[in-house]
Amino acid sequence: MTAPDAAPDRTRHEAVRSAGGITELLDVLWEHARNATDGSTTPTSTSQLRLMYLADRANGIRMRTVCQLLASAPSTVTRMCDRLQAIGFLERLPCPGNGREVILQLTPAGSRHLLRIRERRDSVLHQAIGNMPATERRALATGLAALQAELSTAHGDVDASSAAHSAA
């Protein structure tokens, strides 16, 4: 009796470990870009930055939806919104059609802040990817597109344009 081929499981495990490592490295780069932006009004937490990205992608997102996407209690999201509003990066607006709900929207200052973070992050990524051989860049692009499609399918509650916006 022959033993089953463990290569597919091993390859999957290695891919998961690599993706996790890249995610952690990108988190560090993201944090570095966030801390390197000008001004003393930089959000103090990664959670606040994630909230800003959600508001940016949706161009007006219901607070209840933000709570679900961040898997956070409404009181936690409210405190983050208070801080972001106090520094001029976010505004809360009444929801059209339902006055009891609140829509979150970035201010121009909040949009500029995210733009600076994206520019710094993208600069590092462009340099690193540019140093890769063309065949590896193509393989990376193909693999990331497939991963994005799978994650979007597995997590239908996350807007697929969110990942595309971040990757752009």
Dist. CA 52–CA 58, nearest whole Å: 10
What would the pLDDT profile of 78-129 be if each residue is shown by its tens digit?
Answer: 999 999 999 999 999 998 888 788 999 999 999 999 898 888 888 888 899 9
At 85 the pLDDT is 95
The fraction of the chain above a pLDDT of 90, given in percent, is 39
What percent of the chain shows pLDDT beyond 70?
80
Q: Give the CA count within 13 Å in the CB-facing half-sphere of 145.
A: 6
Tokens of 26: 């990108």
Distance between CA 70 and CA 66 in Å, rounded?
Answer: 6
pLDDT attached to residue 106: 96
CA angle 141, 124, 25 (to 5 degrees): 75
Give residue 130's pLDDT.
93
- Quick check: helix, strand or coil at residue 95? strand
Here the tokens at position 2 are 């022959």
Chain segment 131-150, per-residue pLDDT in tens = 999 999 999 999 988 888 88
What CA–CA distance (Å, rounded) separates 125 from 29? 9
β-strand partners of 104:
61, 92
6-63 pLDDT tens trace: 667 888 888 888 888 787 777 777 777 666 655 545 666 788 888 999 999 988 899 9
For residues 46 and 57, give the distance between their C-alpha atoms in angstroms, rounded to a whole number.
Answer: 16
Give the integer Cα–Cα distance in Å for 23 and 101. Answer: 34
Is residue 156 very low, low, confident or very high in pLDDT (cuts 50, 70, 90)?
low
Beta-bridged to residue 61, according to DSSP, are 104
Q: What is the pTM of this model?
A: 0.70
Structure tokens at 160: 């697929």
Are 84 and 110 spatial neighbours (Cβ–Cβ below 8 Å)? yes
Angle at 111 between CA 109 and CA 117, to 5 degrees: 105
